[in-house]
Chains A and B, each alone.
Chain A
Amino acid sequence: MRSFNDPRKAKIGAVVLLGVIGLLLLLPFIPLQAGAEEAKQEAAPAEKKVEKAKDVFYKGPGEFGIVSGPPAPKLKYPDDYGTYGNFQSRSLLWVANQQHLYFGSFVLAVPMFVFVMELVGMLQKDKGMARKYDDMAHEMMKISLTAYSITAILGGILIFTFLALYPGFFGYLSRIFKPIMHVYALLFVLESGTLYIYYYGWDYMNDGGFLKWIHLSISFLLNTIGIVLMFFANSWIGFMMSPAGVDEQGRFLGDIWKSVHTALWHPLNVHRILGNAAFGGGVVAAYASYRFLAAKTPEEKAHYDWMSYVAMFMGILALIPLPFAGYWLMREVYGYRQQMGITLMGGLLAWVFIMQAMMIAILFVSVNYYLWQAMGRMPGAERYYPLFKYMLLILIVATISWLTPHTLVMTPAELKAMGGAQHPIVGNYGVMSAKNTAINIMITTTVFCFCIYQRCNKVPTVKWAALGNAALGALFTGAAINIVFLGIYGYFIPANVRIGLSVPQVCSTLTCLFIGVTLNTMMLKGARQLGEVRWGQMSPRGSYALFCLAVSFTWTMAVMGYLRSSVRLHWHVNEILRDNSPWAFTNPVGYAGNMNSMNVLLFWTMLLFVFWLGALSAKKAHVTEDEAVGAGKATLPAGSH
C-alpha cells in the first residue's frame, strides 16, 4: 500500500490498470473469432455437401449463405411451453422482462449521467462547485451499485423464466446467437469489474489531477461496455422483429453479423441510448426530489433542489432529440414492413400509440411546469409570470392536436352522427402533419421557457441587448410560423414529400434550441443580477412535477416496449418462428394498460427502496461529517445555475 502513496507509481499503476481493462475488453471477442474460424474449418471439408439458401432480408451479392443450422422449430403447446399454475406465461415473462429492462436501463443510464457530472465537476473553476458535482456523481454511483445487484438478480430470474416457460423459443434464439451470448456474459464480467474499480477507487483517485482523469476514463470505459452490452441485447430484439441472416425456414446462414445487423438494429440502438440518457436524468431527478421533499434542513433542501434541477436538465437534453430518433425508428419499421407500421400507428395498436403520445405530452408539460415552479426561487422572475399562461395555452393546444387519434372509438350511433369514420374537422389533427407540428411546437415552447428561466433573475447589460431580444423574438416567432406553415402545407403534397417536411420543421426547432439558447447565454454574460438563486425555496409542486416526469418516462418505456413486442403479433420471430402458445393473441388495450401500470408500480416500489437505502447510508455519512466538522456547516450551493 505504501508504494501507492508515491504519485509516480500511482500514475503508472493507474495506466497499467486502464491498459489491463482495455485488454480484457478484447477477451470476449476471442471466442467470436474462434467461432468464425471454427465455422470456416467446418465448412471447408464439407464443401461437397454445402447447401446454400437465400437470406430473408439481405439482397444483392451476399443474399445467399451456407446453411449452418436447423430450421426454426414448429412449436407445439404444451410440449414447447411451460406454465406456472393458472398464470399466463406471457404475462409472467412480461413482468420479468420489463423489470430487468428497467433496472438494466437504470444501471446503464446512471453511469452516463455520472460521467457527465464528473466531467462537468472537473471542468469547474470554482472548487466548491467542482466538489458539489463530484459529490453528486459519487452519490448517484452509490445508488447505482445497489441497483446493479438487483439488475443481476432480475437477469437471472429472466433467464430462468425463459427456460421454464419458453424453452423452444429460447433454444432457437440461443442457437442463432450462441457466440454473441458468450460475449455478452463476458462483457458483464468486465462491466462489473470496471464498475467496482470505478466506484471504490473514487476517493483514492480523487487527486484533482492525473488520477482523476484516469478515473474519468474508467467511467468512459464503463459506459462504453454498458452501451455495447445494450447493443447486443438490442440485436436479439431486432432479430425478433426484422430477422436477417437466416433463410425462410429460419436456418442460420453462418454469418452472425447479418443476424445482428438487422433492419431495425441501429434505429433501436440510437433510440435506446437517448431514451436511457433521458431516463437516467429523470430517475436521478426523482431521487433528488424525494430527498428534497424529505429534507429537514435548509442546506439539505438547497442541495437536493440543485441536484434535481441538474438531473432534470440532463434528462431534457436527451429528451429533446428522442422524438426524432423515434421518428427514424418508425420510418425504418415502415420501410421494413408496411403492415408492421400500419399495425402500430394506424391499425390494431393505434390506441396504444395514443397512450404513448399522452405520455410524451405529459413529459413536455411536466418540464415546463417544473421550470415555472422553479422560477419561484429566482428573484425577478415575477416579470415573466404573465407569460406562463400563454405558454400553457400553446402547450395545451399542441397537446390536443398531438393526442387526437386517427382511429376513433365510437358507438355506431356516434359514427352515423359524425357521417363517417373521419371527422371533417378533428380528422385533420389525426394525421402526421398535425402531429409533427404539435411536437415541434411543444419542444420550441420548452426551449423558450428555458430561455426565460435562464434570464429571469438577470437583466442583460450588453450593448446589443435590445437587438438581441429582437433577434430572439424573431427567431422564435419565425420558427413557430415556419413549423405551422409547413404543417398546413403538408396536407397538400404527396406523403413522401410530407415526410420530408419534418426535416425543415425539426431544423426550426433545433435552430431555436442551439442558436436561441446560445444567443440568450451570450446576452446574459456579465448581466446584472436581480438576486441570488434561492435554492431550496422551490414549491413542492415542482418536485411533484419531476416525479411525474420520471414516472412518465417509465410508463412510456413500458408502453413502447409493449408496442414493439406485440407488433410481431403471432410470431416469436417475425415470419420465421410462430408463437403457438395460447397467449399468441394481442391483448386488449385495458389489459395492456394494467400490466404496464403494474410494472411501473413495481419498479418504483423497488426503486424507492433503493432510494431509501441511499438515504440511510447518507444519514450515517452526514452524522460522521457533522461530528467531524461541526453541525450546520454544510455549504450552500453556489447561486448560479
Chain B
Amino acid sequence: MKSVRKGGTYFMLKQRSTSLALQVLFVLLALPMLAWASGGGAGWIDAGKFALIVEMGLGLGITLLAWILKDKLRIPIPKLVQAPLIWITAYIAFRVILQPPIPFSLLAIYMAIVTISCFLYVTISQPSWEEFTQPIAFMLQENTGKAKMSRYVTFAAVPLLLAYGTYSKMLPKFDEPVELRTVHPAPPASVNVHDKILNLQTAENPYRVDDSGKYLKVGLESVYHGKNPWAQDAPKFLQNVRDGGVVFFGTAGCFFCHGDNLDGKGPFAFAFNPIPANFADPGTISQLQETFVFWRVSKGGPGLSREGFPWASAMPPWEKHLTTNEIWQVILFEYWHTGFFPRTWD
C-alpha cells in the first residue's frame, strides 16, 4: 500500500511537473513569438505598439502562471493573501514596469479599479467569500493565542496607519499644481485667415486632389502612401505633398520642433514644456479634421480658445509667415508622412 501511495504521489507530481514545464515553456515562447510577429519594434509597428503587445503578453503570462499555480498545481494560496498579492502585482506593473511613468491621476484610476476588482474577486461566490472571511472571523472571534496576537497587531496597526495617513495628508507639499490642460480644445465655428473667413465645419483642403485635379475623398490617398513625391512623374497629389514637405523642412522649419519623423522630438523640442505635438501618435492629427489642424497652424498658441487654458503652447501663429496655400500643403504633407487620415464625418 505504502509503495502504491508513493508511486501514486510520484506519478501525480511527475504529471504536474510535466504539465507545468510545458506551460512555462509556452509562456516563454509566446513572448519572443509576439516580438517576432511584430517585427521587433521596427517596420509596420512602432516602438509604442511593440511595447504594448509585449506588456499585454506579460499580463497574459502572469495570469497563466497564476492559473498554473493555483488551479493546475493546486498550491493553496488563501484568498486573504491572494487579494493583496494581486493588488501589489498590479501596482508594480503600473508604477514600475509601465514606462514612461504614467501620471498619478491615471495611476489612481487604475489602482481604484484594481482595488474594486480585488474585492469583487474575493466575494465572487459564497465559498470564496467564506474562505476570505474565515481568517478574519477567526481573528475577531477566537480566543487562542494566535488569534489574540493577530487581533492586537491589527488593532495597533489600524490607528497607526490612520495616523500615518493623516500625517502625510497634513504635511505641507511643494509640488507643482496639477495642470488641467485641454489637449484638443474645441475649435471655433470659423476662422479669419488673410481676410478670408473659413468655415471649419465645411472647408476642404484645396490641395487634396486626384490626378484629374478633382477633390480626393479622405482615405483614397492611401494609394499615394509610400510613393516618392520627388519622382519626376509624381502625380498631382504627391506634388502637393512635396510642396508641403518643402514648407515643413524649409520655409517654416516645422521640423525643428516637431521632428524629422513628425514625432514631436525635433532638436528644439525639449526646450519646451510641454514638448511639441507628436503627429505620429494616433491620438493627435488622426483624430482631427484637416480644418482643425488648419486652425491650429494658422493661429498657433496665441489663437487657442479660452478652454485651452493655460495656453501652454509655443506654436507661432503661422498665418503671419505662411500663405493660406502653404498651410494647406504642409497639412497634406503631415498626414501623408504619418500615414494617418484626417477625420471626416461622412
Contact = CB atoms under 8 A, between A and B. Distances in A.
Contact of A541 (B105, B114, B129): B129
B9 interface: no
Contacts of B189: 337, 339, 575
Contacts of A393: 63
B219 interface: yes
B344 A496 contact: yes
Contacts of A530: none
Contacts of B343: 494-496
B275 A419 contact: yes
A388 to B, nearest CB: 5
Interface centre among B47, B49, B345 (most CB of A within 10 A): B345
A416 interface: yes
A418 B100 contact: yes
Contact of B176 (A411, A427, A539): A411
A420 B264 contact: yes
B91 to A, nearest CB: 14
A409 B48 contact: no
B174 to A, nearest CB: 12
A337 to B, nearest CB: 7
A409 B100 contact: no
Given A396-B117, A496-B345, A406 B282 contact: no
B105 A410 contact: yes
A111 interface: no
A405 B283 CA distance: 11
Interface stretch (B118-126, B135-143, B158-166, B206-214): B118-126
B219 A392 contact: no
A411 B175 contact: yes
Interface in A326-372: 331, 334-335, 337-340, 342-343, 346-348, 350-351, 365, 369, 372
Interface string B32-59: 0000000000000001110110010001
A430 B52 CA distance: 13
Contact of A431 (B120, B126, B287, B289): B287
Given A392-B117, A422-B281, A407 B341 contact: no
A348, A351, A388, A405: most-surrounded residue (chain B CB, <10 A) = A348
B325 interface: no
B178 A411 contact: yes
Given A365-B120, A494-B219, A428 B178 contact: no
B25 interface: no
A497 interface: yes
Contacts of B124: 369, 372, 385, 388-389, 392
Interface residues of A, number: 70
B51 A342 contact: no
A385 B105 CA distance: 34
A428 B48 contact: yes
Contacts of B49: 428, 491
Nearest to B98: A425
A501 interface: no
B100 A421 contact: no
A385 B125 contact: yes
A386 B74 CA distance: 13
B292 A417 contact: no
A586 B305 CA distance: 14
Interface in A390-436: 392-393, 396-397, 399-400, 403-428, 430-431, 433
A185 B114 CA distance: 50
Contacts of A351: 180
Contacts of A389: 121, 124
Interface residues of B, number: 75
Nearest to A585: B306
B3 interface: no
B101 A417 contact: yes
A415 B129 contact: no
B177 interface: yes
Given A334-B345, A389-B121, A426-B106, A431 B283 contact: yes
A621 interface: no
B155 interface: no
A399 B113 contact: yes
A513 to B, nearest CB: 23
A427 B59 CA distance: 18
Nearest to B341: A494
Contacts of A340: 186
Contacts of B345: 331, 334-335, 338, 496
A338 B218 CA distance: 17
Given A338-B200, A407-B183, A419-B275, A392 B120 contact: yes
Contacts of B341: 493-497
A28 interface: no
A411 B180 CA distance: 9
A121 interface: no
A433 to B, nearest CB: 8
A498 to B, nearest CB: 9
Contact of A496 (B52, B187, B218, B278): B218
B55 A425 contact: yes
B71 interface: yes
Given A411-B179, A425-B98, A400 B113 contact: yes
Contacts of A431: 282-283, 287
Contacts of A399: 113
Nearest to A397: B59
A376 interface: yes
Contact of B274 (A365, A405, A406, A420): A420
Interface in A118-156: none
A422 B277 CA distance: 9
B105 A348 contact: no
Nearest to A393: B63
Contacts of B344: 494-496
17 contacts: A338-B187, A339-B186, A342-B187, A347-B185, A350-B182, A365-B116, A392-B120, A406-B183, A409-B106, A411-B176, A417-B100, A418-B103, A422-B281, A424-B47, A494-B222, A494-B340, A539-B126
Counting from the closest, the 8 A-B pairs by CB-CB distance are: A494-B341, A410-B103, A424-B48, A339-B186, A495-B343, A343-B186, A409-B105, A494-B219
Interface of B: 47-49, 51-52, 55, 59, 63, 71, 98, 100-106, 109-110, 113-114, 116-117, 120-121, 123-129, 175-189, 200-201, 218-219, 222, 264, 273-275, 277-278, 281-284, 286-287, 289, 291-292, 307, 340-346
